[in-house]
Amino acid sequence: MTTSFATRTSDTSIYLNENMLRQLEQPHEIFVSVPKILFRLALYIIAGGALSTLLISMGKTNWAIGFAILFLAAAAVLLLQFRYVRQPIIILSKAGLHLRTRRFDKLMAWPTVIENDWIDTYRVIKTNSIISLRGGDPAKSHTVVATHLRMKRDEYLRLCSLYAAAASHSLPHG
Protein backbone atom coordinates (compact mmCIF):
# COMPACT_ATOMS: atom_id res chain seq x y z
CA MET A 1 0.00 0.00 0.00
CA THR A 2 1.40 3.35 -0.99
CA THR A 3 0.09 6.72 0.08
CA SER A 4 1.10 9.94 -1.55
CA PHE A 5 0.97 13.46 -0.24
CA ALA A 6 1.68 16.19 -2.73
CA THR A 7 1.93 19.89 -3.00
CA ARG A 8 1.56 21.79 -6.22
CA THR A 9 3.68 24.81 -5.60
CA SER A 10 2.50 26.79 -8.64
CA ASP A 11 -1.11 27.22 -7.55
CA THR A 12 -0.48 27.85 -3.87
CA SER A 13 -2.13 30.94 -2.43
CA ILE A 14 -0.56 31.74 0.94
CA TYR A 15 -0.56 35.01 2.83
CA LEU A 16 2.96 36.03 3.90
CA ASN A 17 3.60 38.92 6.25
CA GLU A 18 6.78 41.01 6.11
CA ASN A 19 8.43 39.08 8.96
CA MET A 20 7.84 35.77 7.17
CA LEU A 21 9.15 37.21 3.89
CA ARG A 22 12.35 38.29 5.67
CA GLN A 23 12.78 34.78 7.12
CA LEU A 24 12.30 33.24 3.68
CA GLU A 25 15.17 35.32 2.24
CA GLN A 26 17.52 32.73 3.75
CA PRO A 27 17.64 29.31 2.07
CA HIS A 28 16.72 26.23 4.08
CA GLU A 29 19.13 23.30 3.84
CA ILE A 30 17.90 19.74 4.34
CA PHE A 31 20.39 17.11 5.53
CA VAL A 32 20.13 13.41 6.29
CA SER A 33 19.79 12.17 9.86
CA VAL A 34 22.66 10.06 11.21
CA PRO A 35 20.54 8.31 13.88
CA LYS A 36 17.99 7.24 11.25
CA ILE A 37 20.73 5.79 9.05
CA LEU A 38 22.41 4.01 11.98
CA PHE A 39 19.09 2.54 13.15
CA ARG A 40 18.31 1.12 9.72
CA LEU A 41 21.89 -0.12 9.35
CA ALA A 42 21.67 -1.97 12.67
CA LEU A 43 18.28 -3.38 11.65
CA TYR A 44 19.72 -4.75 8.38
CA ILE A 45 22.71 -6.33 10.13
CA ILE A 46 20.61 -7.88 12.92
CA ALA A 47 17.95 -9.20 10.52
CA GLY A 48 20.60 -10.59 8.16
CA GLY A 49 22.46 -12.23 11.02
CA ALA A 50 19.30 -13.72 12.52
CA LEU A 51 18.11 -15.10 9.19
CA SER A 52 21.54 -16.54 8.40
CA THR A 53 21.76 -18.17 11.84
CA LEU A 54 18.32 -19.69 11.39
CA LEU A 55 19.22 -21.06 7.96
CA ILE A 56 22.53 -22.48 9.21
CA SER A 57 20.71 -24.24 12.06
CA MET A 58 18.43 -25.81 9.44
CA GLY A 59 21.45 -27.03 7.45
CA LYS A 60 21.01 -24.59 4.56
CA THR A 61 24.47 -23.02 4.64
CA ASN A 62 24.45 -21.83 1.02
CA TRP A 63 21.16 -20.01 1.55
CA ALA A 64 22.55 -18.47 4.75
CA ILE A 65 25.62 -17.16 2.93
CA GLY A 66 23.43 -15.79 0.13
CA PHE A 67 21.14 -13.93 2.51
CA ALA A 68 24.09 -12.64 4.55
CA ILE A 69 25.62 -11.22 1.36
CA LEU A 70 22.27 -9.68 0.38
CA PHE A 71 21.80 -7.96 3.75
CA LEU A 72 25.42 -6.75 3.80
CA ALA A 73 24.98 -5.31 0.30
CA ALA A 74 21.85 -3.47 1.47
CA ALA A 75 23.83 -2.13 4.45
CA ALA A 76 26.65 -1.00 2.13
CA VAL A 77 24.20 0.87 -0.10
CA LEU A 78 22.76 2.50 3.01
CA LEU A 79 26.23 3.72 3.96
CA LEU A 80 26.23 5.84 0.79
CA GLN A 81 23.68 8.11 2.52
CA PHE A 82 26.46 9.33 4.82
CA ARG A 83 27.76 11.57 2.03
CA TYR A 84 24.79 13.88 2.73
CA VAL A 85 25.58 14.33 6.42
CA ARG A 86 27.89 17.31 5.87
CA GLN A 87 26.37 18.70 2.69
CA PRO A 88 22.64 19.25 2.19
CA ILE A 89 20.77 16.98 -0.18
CA ILE A 90 18.05 19.59 -0.83
CA ILE A 91 18.19 23.37 -0.54
CA LEU A 92 14.90 25.27 -0.57
CA SER A 93 14.96 28.94 -1.46
CA LYS A 94 12.90 31.61 -3.19
CA ALA A 95 14.81 30.79 -6.38
CA GLY A 96 13.57 27.20 -6.30
CA LEU A 97 14.38 23.73 -5.14
CA HIS A 98 18.07 22.82 -5.48
CA LEU A 99 18.40 19.06 -5.58
CA ARG A 100 21.94 17.82 -4.90
CA THR A 101 22.19 14.13 -5.66
CA ARG A 102 24.85 12.06 -7.39
CA ARG A 103 22.99 12.24 -10.72
CA PHE A 104 21.48 15.71 -10.50
CA ASP A 105 22.87 18.92 -9.04
CA LYS A 106 20.72 21.72 -10.39
CA LEU A 107 18.17 24.26 -9.33
CA MET A 108 14.54 23.70 -10.31
CA ALA A 109 12.85 27.11 -10.27
CA TRP A 110 9.42 27.09 -8.57
CA PRO A 111 7.47 27.97 -11.74
CA THR A 112 8.97 24.91 -13.48
CA VAL A 113 8.09 22.47 -10.68
CA ILE A 114 4.95 20.66 -11.86
CA GLU A 115 4.89 17.92 -9.26
CA ASN A 116 6.51 17.74 -5.82
CA ASP A 117 5.31 14.57 -4.06
CA TRP A 118 6.35 12.97 -0.79
CA ILE A 119 5.43 9.30 -1.08
CA ASP A 120 5.31 6.98 1.93
CA THR A 121 5.32 3.23 1.31
CA TYR A 122 3.72 0.92 3.86
CA ARG A 123 4.19 -2.83 4.34
CA VAL A 124 2.30 -3.11 7.64
CA ILE A 125 4.66 -0.39 8.91
CA LYS A 126 6.17 2.53 7.02
CA THR A 127 9.10 1.08 5.09
CA ASN A 128 10.26 3.90 2.84
CA SER A 129 9.69 7.51 1.86
CA ILE A 130 10.71 9.22 -1.35
CA ILE A 131 10.36 12.69 -2.79
CA SER A 132 9.34 12.63 -6.44
CA LEU A 133 9.94 15.80 -8.44
CA ARG A 134 8.84 16.56 -11.97
CA GLY A 135 9.63 19.68 -13.93
CA GLY A 136 8.23 21.03 -17.20
CA ASP A 137 10.75 18.99 -19.20
CA PRO A 138 10.08 15.20 -19.04
CA ALA A 139 13.82 14.69 -18.60
CA LYS A 140 13.60 16.59 -15.33
CA SER A 141 11.97 13.87 -13.25
CA HIS A 142 13.89 12.95 -10.12
CA THR A 143 13.40 10.94 -6.96
CA VAL A 144 15.18 11.34 -3.65
CA VAL A 145 15.07 8.85 -0.78
CA ALA A 146 13.48 10.79 2.06
CA THR A 147 13.47 8.03 4.68
CA HIS A 148 16.63 9.39 6.29
CA LEU A 149 16.00 13.13 6.10
CA ARG A 150 16.07 15.23 9.26
CA MET A 151 12.63 16.50 8.33
CA LYS A 152 9.13 15.04 8.26
CA ARG A 153 6.72 15.14 5.32
CA ASP A 154 4.48 17.91 6.65
CA GLU A 155 7.41 20.24 7.39
CA TYR A 156 8.94 19.64 3.94
CA LEU A 157 5.66 20.35 2.14
CA ARG A 158 4.99 23.42 4.31
CA LEU A 159 8.42 24.87 3.55
CA CYS A 160 8.06 24.17 -0.18
CA SER A 161 4.72 25.97 -0.22
CA LEU A 162 6.12 28.94 1.73
CA TYR A 163 9.18 29.35 -0.49
CA ALA A 164 7.10 29.00 -3.67
CA ALA A 165 4.65 31.61 -2.37
CA ALA A 166 7.52 33.93 -1.43
CA ALA A 167 8.97 33.50 -4.93
CA SER A 168 5.68 34.40 -6.58
CA HIS A 169 5.22 37.30 -4.12
CA SER A 170 8.58 38.79 -5.09
CA LEU A 171 7.82 38.69 -8.82
CA PRO A 172 6.95 42.11 -10.28
CA HIS A 173 3.20 42.44 -10.79
CA GLY A 174 2.62 44.33 -14.00
Q: For residue 93, what pLDDT is reported?
A: 92
Q: For residue 80, what pLDDT is reported?
A: 80
Scored b (16 or more CB within 10 A) or e, 21-54 reads eeebeeebebbbbeeebeebbeebeeebeebbee
96-154 pLDDT, tens digit each: 988 887 777 788 888 888 889 999 888 887 778 888 888 876 667 788 888 888 889 99
Domain ranges for the chain: 2-31+88-169, 35-82
Q: Name the residue among 106, 105, 107, 110 with its Cα closest to residue 94.
A: 110
Q: For residue 139, what pLDDT is reported?
A: 61
Cross-strand bridge partners of residue 27: none
Q: Whole-angstrom Cα distance, residue 50 to residue 103?
A: 35
Instruction: Note the CATH number of domain 2-31+88-169.
Output: 2.30.29
The pTM (predicted TM-score) of the whole model is 0.75
Q: For residue 2, what pLDDT is reported?
A: 47
18-69 pLDDT, tens digit each: 888 888 889 999 988 889 888 888 888 888 888 888 888 998 888 888 888 8
6 confidence band (pLDDT: 50, 70, 90): very low
13 confidence band (pLDDT: 50, 70, 90): low
